């Protein structure tokens, strides 16, 4: 059995759980290797049922049977011709779990009602969990790091290809579209989130949606983009200027870059996410822009583009080697625009290894 499943099982046993039902698609893939994608939470490509002892099961419908057998050799694949619950009933009868954990953060209430009915019928106690597998996923293996590094490399290739094609007058939407098109043509699995292209005033919103407004020369343009390589995500932000930036833009880009460098320098195993956030934030606060940096410094990246750990005031746990996080300070001035710079880095014992090579932020 993989060491991963063994570690999961030790955690189940420690909590006195007899089995875990995995519904979150990235957790399902992480534990089993099965790569099918869900089309939204209502259209699942299958679930895992992992007993604390004995063979783990992958339950899916006939469409995915071959793929599941190929990709998840450690799992016994069972097909449900008439939906998940009749099959679960039979498995509950044979496995007889007393305490069954399920993923409360990825199960619809209406599906939970069916599960609760079956559990009551079979005398099974249900235990809602929210991040058991997600915690395992935070520290990346060498194979995972290689995929993430390839995603970052391809991300930079796509970014610089599109950046070279940008001229004043191109719209935010056209740039976003070029980014997605170039990702696919260069072999990415797809974007890890819809690209953000936000010029001038639109950049003051950290989650701006690209508009049809033409980009003017001289205004800052936030480009926040990510893609996937074999399931693993990249996430990168650059703020560029077409033509000559004005004094304020230059000054703020330098400020945000200083905050980012401070954060990257503070990032290492054994400190908390909140510590790293505080170090980078203090640079921006000292420049009088504390109120203009309204989000946390960073987040974990892996099979999900947003996952743990968080570099925020709420994250008190200590960072560990092999965690991958973004470092993305920003300054947002309502009515004027925004600046954000985002790199990805791997936490190491001695510090961190920044995965990005692109230095477009030094152009201006």
162 touches a copy of itself (CB under 8 A): no
Instruction: Output the smallest distance, CB 36 to a copy of itself, in A.
Output: 9
Q: Which of 130, 135, 160, 167 binds a copy of itself (CB under 8 A)?
A: 130
Q: Pick from 77, 87, 88, 107: which binds a copy of itself (CB under 8 A)?
A: 107
Here's the x/- map for a copy of itself, 198-237, by CB under 8 A: it reads as -------xxx------------------------------
Token pair belonging to 360:
């477009």
**Beta-carbon contacts of residue 214 (< 8 Å; ≥ 6 apart):** 168, 169, 170, 171
39: contact with a copy of itself by CB under 8 A? yes
Residue 318 engages a copy of itself in binding (rule: CB under 8 A):
no
- 120 interacts with a copy of itself by CB under 8 A: no
Least distance between a copy of itself and beta carbon 162 (Å): 16
Rounded-to-integer distance, Cα 327 and Cα 281, Å: 11
From 27, 37, 50, select the one nearest 308 (Cα to Cα). 27
Residues forming beta bridges with residue 127, ordered by sequence position: 101
How big is the site for a copy of itself, counted in residues (CB under 8 A)? 25
Q: Which stretch binds a copy of itself (CB under 8 A): 6-14, 34-42, 92-100, 329-337?
A: 34-42
- Using CB under 8 A as the binding rule, the residues of this chain from 77 to 106 that contact a copy of itself are 102, 104-106
113 binding a copy of itself? (CB under 8 A):
yes
Closer residue to a copy of itself, CB minimum distance, 36 or 269: 36
Q: Which residues contact 117 (CB under 8 A, 6 or more apart)?
A: none
Instruction: Give the footprint of a copy of itself on residues 167-186 (CB under 8 A).
Output: 177, 181, 184
- Smallest distance, Å, CB 108 to a copy of itself? 6
d(CA 90, CA 219): 63
Any residues with CB less than 8 A from the CB of 257 and at least 6 apart, and which?
Answer: 341, 361
HEC secondary structure over 270-311? CCEHHHHHHHHHHHHHHCCCHHHCCCCCEEECCCCCCEEEEE
Report the relative pairing of strands 99-103 and 125-129 from DSSP bridges. parallel
Look at residue 81 and give its three-state secondary structure.
coil
The binding site for a copy of itself (CB under 8 A) comprises 39-42, 63, 102, 104-110, 112-113, 128, 130, 177, 181, 184, 193-194, 205-207
């Amino acid at each position: 059995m993989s060491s991963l499943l063994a570690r999961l099982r030790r955690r189940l046993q420690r909590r006195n759980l007899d089995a875990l039902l995995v519904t979150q698609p990235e957790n399902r893939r992480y534990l089993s290797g099965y790569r099918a994608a869900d089309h939204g939470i209502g259209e699942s490509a299958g679930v895992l049922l992992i007993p604390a002892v004995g063979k783990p099961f992958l339950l899916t419908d006939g469409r995915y049977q071959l793929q599941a057998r190929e990709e998840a050799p450690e799992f016994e694949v069972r097909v449900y011709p008439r939906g998940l619950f009749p099959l679960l009933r039979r498995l509950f009868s044979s496995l007889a779990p007393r305490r069954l954990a399920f993923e409360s953060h990825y199960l619809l209430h209406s599906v939970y009602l069916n599960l609760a009915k079956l559990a009551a019928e079979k005398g099974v106690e249900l235990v809602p969990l929210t991040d058991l597998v997600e915690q395992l996923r935070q520290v990346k293996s060498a194979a995972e790091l290689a995929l993430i590094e390839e995603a970052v490399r391809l991300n930079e290739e796509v970014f610089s290809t599109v950046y070279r094609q940008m001229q004043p007058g191109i719209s935010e939407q056209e740039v976003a579209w070029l980014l997605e098109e170039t990702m696919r043509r260069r072999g990415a699995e797809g974007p890890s989130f819809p690209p953000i292209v936000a010029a001038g005033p639109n950049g003051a919103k950290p989650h701006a949606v690209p508009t049809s407004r033409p980009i003017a020369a001289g205004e800052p343009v936030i480009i926040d983009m990510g893609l996937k390589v074999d399931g693993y995500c990249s996430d990168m932000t650059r703020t560029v200027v077409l033509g000559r930036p004005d004094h304020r833009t230059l000054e703020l880009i330098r400020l945000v870059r200083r905050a980012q460098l401070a954060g990257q320098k503070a990032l290492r195993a054994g400190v908390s996410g909140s510590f790293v956030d505080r170090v980078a934030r203090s640079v921006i606060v000292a420049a009088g822009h504390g109120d203009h940096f309204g989000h946390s410094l960073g987040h974990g990246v892996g099979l999900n583009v947003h996952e743990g750990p968080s570099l925020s005031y709420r994250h008190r746990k200590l960072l560990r080697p092999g965690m991958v996080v973004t470092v993305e300070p920003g300054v947002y001035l309502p009515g004027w625009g925004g600046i954000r710079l985002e790199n990805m880095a791997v936490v190491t014992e001695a510090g961190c290894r920044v995965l990005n090579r692109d230095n477009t932020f030094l152009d201006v």
